[in-house]
Structure 1
């Protein structure tokens, strides 16, 4: 019979409550900042917001430190690794459903709502009553209030960013392969390239937003097209930012000599997350930019 492994139970941790405090401050500060900005008032909203971000950063450093210490001391075992893999799998699944909801909203707007407004065979009165001049086509570059914009094409920065993320997924895979084969130089080099590509993607997405705002007139006031565009690309950019931070943390750990071919779940989880982000962008590129 196989030997029964003991399951490591960590001591009570202050980090969950500190993280909850930080998220609360961020929610309070962000909402207050938006209200003050809309009313053109000065206030403490931004101060509270940055304080919350600071608390979250402090929490992450502390929690990561504790986890790393537990791992390097050999407190984790195969049972705990299985739990980590299941937890990360469920987390990525929840992220899949998160984006599925937004893609669903885009699908509803394009395939159902636009056709209703256009007065299809079953909703002729909808067109006559709500928007008689409306022509059913996508993207909607005109709003009922008279706001006009231009659609963001797939060529240029979006296409370049797609190539960048595809290459980064390959370099991340080779970094993981290098770790599994004990090739530390390959691991360090490919991981560094992946981080650089992630940072380039974020920079180019920022440049794309500037172009959209200043030259195309594509803003959050541009109706359902502008809303869905920034909702999908913005949340994806947030996930790329998180993934890049995770990669940087893994890079620092690699430089400190952490991870072995048999014990590297933190790196594996980060690799899973980065590949997930890449797949989401491919879907987003086709649905938002091309179709």
Structure 2
């Protein structure tokens, strides 16, 4: 962007093309997705074009924001706006996962007992599904997807729990290094956090392969299979995105973009990473353990 203006105490950027580019990229991706799902060959190419345009948007918009920050365009009021924006973004993610945990609770503690004959709807459901045992994990009446084995908690899931908790410690160590102007500690702390995050994703991918090939646990394995992959899959996606954000912060850290008093971009990613850690603890307890 070119020359920036200030109005009072608040920074006002020049008119930006990025919002309209974002709208076009999302519209293109969704349109291509609809075509692809309906068997239209060109749909996959349109999806690819939309995603490439979206990545171009992220690169260009973040480049402009980074440039504005390095040119000292932002003041305390702008910093507060950034913090509030990140806070509400993480709050929306909290409710996103709460809806999934709520669906798991409803299936296990309300719908499943009804299907087994309990509650005021139990009599009707017992007639509909005679002989159904209301025990979790279940693939529901009709044994959808065939017999399967549930995923245990004390193999890879326990290892991944230790890995993510360790990554929370390494990013905190990196943050301490930043506050102390210790560039070496900052960089190595971020490298360790990224490595642990990627190891988590790799182990989860291996776990999925094991579940499909040896446990017959798939998305078609009734209520247990669908909720298992919905919760762990979305979390794995968040870990992947968090690792990408950490890579961007690592690159900026190596270029000395941050100081002890000006590093909200680092803090924002650290908040997000700690949120991902906390969500995993809930997943480990309610999906794998209980």
TM-score, length-scaled by structure 2: 0.93
Distance in 1 between residues matched to 2:196 and 2:281, nearest whole Å? 16
TM-score, length-scaled by structure 1: 0.93
Indicate the residue corresponding to 1:178 in structure 2. 177
Q: Secondary structure of the equivalent of 1:8?
A: strand
Indicate the residue corresponding to 2:157 in structure 1. 158
Indicate the residue corresponding to 1:39 in structure 2. none
Indicate the residue corresponding to 1:8 in structure 2. 11
Give how far 1:53 is off.
1.4
Matched, 1:82 2:85: no
Give how far 1:32 is off.
3.3
Aligned residues: 283
Matched, 1:26 2:8: no
Q: Deviations over 1:114-133 (max 9, x none)?
A: 00000015333233332112
Distance in 2 between residues matched to 1:286 and 1:246, nearest whole Å? 27
Distance in 2 between residues matched to 1:281 and 1:139, nearest whole Å? 20
- Gaps (5+ residues) in structure 1? 37-41
CA contact (8 A) 2:143 2:222 kept: no
Give how far 1:213 is off.
1.1
Indicate the residue corresponding to 1:240 in structure 2. 239
Q: Secondary structure of the equivalent of 2:247?
A: helix
Indicate the residue corresponding to 1:188 in structure 2. 187
Give how far 1:143 is off.
4.6
Give how far 1:145 is off.
5.1
What is the 5 A alignment of 1:56-71? Answer: 56-71=54-69
Give how far 1:134 is off.
0.8
Distance in 1 between residues matched to 2:34 and 2:288, nearest whole Å? 31
Give every structure 1 segment of 4 or more consecutive aligned residues whose post-TM-superposition deviation is greater than 6 Å.
none
> How much is the aligned-residue C-alpha RMSD, in angstroms?
1.6
What is the 5 A alignment of 1:67-146? Answer: 67-141=65-139, 143-144=141-142, 146=144
